[in-house]
Chain A
Amino acid sequence: AAGVIQSPRHLIKEKRETATLKCYPISRHDTVYWYQQGPGQDPQFLISFYEKMQSDKGSIPDRFSAQQFSDYHSELNMSSLELGDSALYFCASSLKALGVGANVLTFGAGSRLTVL
Chain B
Amino acid sequence: GENVEQHPSTLSVQEGDSAVIKCTYSDSASNYFPWYKQELGKGPQLIIDIRSNVGEKKDQRIAVTLNKTAKHFSLHITETQPEDSAVYFCAASIAGSYQLTFGKGTKLSVIP
Interface string of A51-69 (1 = CB under 8 A from B): 0000110100000000000
Taking residues whose C-beta sits less than 8 angstroms from the other chain, chain A's interface range is 20 to 34
- The tally of residues in B whose CB lies under 8 Å from a CB in A reads 25
CA–CA, A106 to B43, complex, Å?
A: 9
Interface majority SS (helix, strand, loop, mixed), chain A:
loop
Interface string of A96-116 (1 = CB under 8 A from B): 010111111111111000000
In the complex, whether B46 has a CB less than 8 A from a CB of chain A is yes
B29 to chain A, nearest CB (A): 12
Asked if residues B34 and A104 are in contact (CB atoms below 8 Å), the reply is yes
B41 to chain A, nearest CB (A): 8
- Selected from B43, B101, B103, B104, the residue in CB contact (under 8 A) with A90 is B43
Asked if residues B105 and A56 are in contact (CB atoms below 8 Å), the reply is no
List the 6 shortest-distance A-B pairs measured between CB atoms, nearest first.
A56-B98, A107-B43, A102-B32, A42-B102, A48-B98, A102-B95
Q: A103-B93, A104-B46, A110-B43 are in contact. List 4 more A-B contacts (CB 8 A).
A: A41-B104, A50-B98, A56-B99, A109-B41
